[in-house]
Amino acid sequence: MYGAKEIILSEIKPALGCTEPAAIALNAAYLREYGVYDENLKLTINTNLLKNAMYVPIPNTSKRFGVKLAFALGYLFGDVNDELNIFKNLNEEKVKKALKFSEKVKVELIEGSELFIKSENTYAEAVTIKFHDNIEYVISKGELKEFENHQEEVEVKSYVLEDKPFDIVYDLIEQEKSFEFVREAVELNMALAEYGMNHDVGINVSKQFSGDSLKDKICKITTSASDSRMDGVNMPAMSLTGSGNHGISATLPVWVYAKEKGFREEEALKAVALSMLITIYVKLFIGRLSVICGAAVASGCGVAGAIAYLESDRETSKKAVKHVIQNISTLLCDGGKMACSLKVLQGASVGYDSAKFVLNAMQVYEDGIMFEDVTKTIKALKGIKEKMSGVDEEVVKIMKEKLL
């Protein structure tokens, strides 16, 4: 059995901008690096990836967006060593060249929620599966080049939680002696928040909070980071389960709460780690690319559970997690965009409220999809998510029609 540190570290990675355009660009960079340059280009992606990549601004492009542009930037200028920070060295000249070049790229869609990217030209193809940076192989002129399988590493570590009761997250956290391994996540995401509070970015959700209450501070700081990220600011977020917004919404509300309430640094880091592990656990059941917004629902569970645990115990924490699900269990993901900061706001706000409600002895009733057992409640989301596949298809259909 892996520990909390190993599981969390396998699920976090610095990422510049939204991870879906970055995944497309990284795949294209591998095609160019290990294949043969050719301008007869085709990109095949799954519909859920299209949903999250279609409208979100790409860093260092003056808020331009699009899957063809992401592909062209990666193919022409991407460095495979930059991984999900692949857009960090762009400039206007490169962007203009990529815009013109992107006209050569044909795009094909396949159904499915599991991440899939295949780029190909006359001589080569590159394939990414399941995880944003998991380049499975490149075939060039009939020669196969396979790569270290990041998918297996993550599946071995985080997926081991899938058949365990929810109490495993507390057991694993309580076995750890130090939580310094989450400090970088806090620092990267706080840096994004600082930038957002001092600049006009995204849709400026953070500028709507001017009060001095703890909840206002949490919402302001958290949405500042998301506004910055979704605006394409040239600063990385620490992504969690493949999403920068998951990382932001799982870390910052808990960190701000703990620091404002005077908890010791190690206690604050421990609470952040618990929030991240709860988020990972919930994501196992709602999926990586999902019809359900993970930044709100999964990270909201993390925030609620961590704050309640910090102030009380695991039983109160489990009630707080259930309270989030009772409130926003099926909040819709309608694709990556600047307004994602509003969904991040839900994770921070509902997470905070849920913790405070149960700390004030509010009951969580076993009605609707709720069970007395928090594990069964979380697992119920998997079946609901699967039955919502038609909703996801309709969302993608609407988004595609807008492009015509």
Q: d(Cα 1, Cα 4) in Å, to the nearest integer?
A: 10
Question: Residue 280: its pLDDT value, please?
Answer: 98
Cα–Cα nearest to 23, from 63, 64, 81, 83: 83
Question: Residue 114: its pLDDT value, please?
Answer: 87
Question: Residue 396: its pLDDT value, please?
Answer: 87
Residue 203: CB atoms within 10 A of its CB come to 19
Question: Residue 305: its pLDDT value, please?
Answer: 99
For 77, the token pair is 């200028």
Question: Residue 155: its pLDDT value, please?
Answer: 62
| Pairing of the two strands 135-140 and 105-110 | unpaired
Residue 231 CA: distances (Å) to CA of 52, 114, 162, 169, 402: 14, 26, 34, 33, 21
Question: Residue 111: its pLDDT value, please?
Answer: 87
Question: Residue 154: its pLDDT value, please?
Answer: 55
Question: Residue 329: its pLDDT value, please?
Answer: 96
Cα–Cα nearest to 15, from 189, 179, 151: 189
Domains of the chain: 17-152 (3.30.1330), 162-403 (1.10.4100)
Q: d(Cα 146, Cα 326) in Å, to the nearest integer?
A: 44
Yes or no: say if 27 and 92 are a contact pair by the CB < 8 Å rule. no
Q: Which residues of 291-330 are buried (b: 16+ CB within 10 A; e: fewer)?
A: bbbbbbbbbbbbbbbbbbbbbeebebbbbbbbbbbbbbbb
pLDDT, block means (10 residues), the chain with 404 residues: 94 96 98 93 95 95 96 98 97 98 95 92 95 93 81 69 97 98 99 98 96 97 98 97 97 99 98 99 95 98 99 98 97 95 98 98 94 98 93 88 68
Question: Residue 159: its pLDDT value, please?
Answer: 83
Q: d(Cα 297, Cα 267) in Å, to the nearest integer?
A: 24
